[in-house]
Amino acid sequence: MNDTVSTAALDEWMRTFARLVAENKEALTDLDAAIGDGDHGENMDRGMRAAVQALDDTRPSTASALFNKVGMTLISTVGGASGPLFGTLFLRIGAALGDTSEVSLSQLATALHAGLDGIVARGKAEAGDKTIYDALAPAVQALETAATDGAHTADALRAALAAAENGRDATTPMLARKGRASYLGERSVGHQDPGATSIALLIAAATPAPA
């Protein structure tokens, strides 16, 4: 396996995520209006817009500096649950990657796992709680399996995207047990989780089109 990911590609990942969030802002807000307070699209868009601005201003040259900037910006600009949770995800990814400018697939998988652990440490979500965990955990698992199998990064990311989208779709029948949606109890059933939807966009932003 010799296909590594450069800092420039990681920077592009964050910019593409910001673009996908902007394009899906209304859809994310509609999902949150059904089982939350209708601000998820607004929250993610405000945060990622500010993150791109911060990247433009500082041009980080290492993976740790890049994700540190994105994570800190999300935490400082987004008041909702998603700001600290996505912020923690990126801070942990940055800390795990360190001062490297070329990232291997196994490093990427390990870093995303560290990010997932950070989200759990912060929000205590478990599988089936109808949160961002339910899309991110299967994506991390798929990346780790692909890395162990010696897959190419592009194929690994396609597998991770399929896993994230399946995980996102699987949140629809779940009863929310964390966050604002949990206040609805049974009425949360039958709605796709907004945060899990944003995670699928995050993985989509990293994934090349089918070969």
Report the alpha-carbon distance of residue 135 to residue 168 in Å, rounded: 5
**Residue 164 sits in the site that holds ligand ADP (CB under 6 A):** no
Instruction: Give the one residue of 21, 24, 32, 201 binding Mg ion; rule: CB under 5 A.
Output: 32
**Binds 84, which of ligand ADP, Mg ion, none (CB < 5 to 8 A, cut-off by type)?**
none
| Single-letter residue type at 128 | G
H or E element, residue 32: helix 25-35
**Residue 37 sits in the site that holds Mg ion (CB under 5 A):** yes
DSSP, collapsed to helix, strand or coil, labels residue 93 as helix
CB nearer to Mg ion: give 138 or 179: 179
**Residue 123 sits in the site that holds ligand ADP (CB under 6 A):** yes
Burial pattern 136-156, b for ≥16 Cβ within 10 A else e, equals bbbbbbbbbebbeeebebbeb
**Residue 139 sits in the site that holds ligand ADP (CB under 6 A):** no
Q: How far is the CB of 192 from Mg ion (least distance, A)?
A: 14
Q: How far is the CB of 30 from Mg ion (least distance, A)?
A: 12
Instruction: Give the one residue of 14, 21, 36, 157 binding ligand ADP; rule: CB under 6 A.
Output: 36
Q: What are phi and psi of 42, to 5 degrees?
A: -60, -45
**Residue 26 sits in the site that holds Mg ion (CB under 5 A):** no
| Single-letter residue type at 69 | K
Within the chain, how many helices (H) and strands (E) appear? 9, 2
Task: Give strand pairing partners of 111.
Answer: none
Instruction: Give the one residue of 7, 82, 153, 188 binding ligand ADP; rule: CB under 6 A.
Output: 82
Q: Which residues bind ligand ADP (CB under 6 A)?
A: 32, 36-37, 39-40, 43, 80-82, 85, 119, 123-125, 131-133, 178-180, 193-196
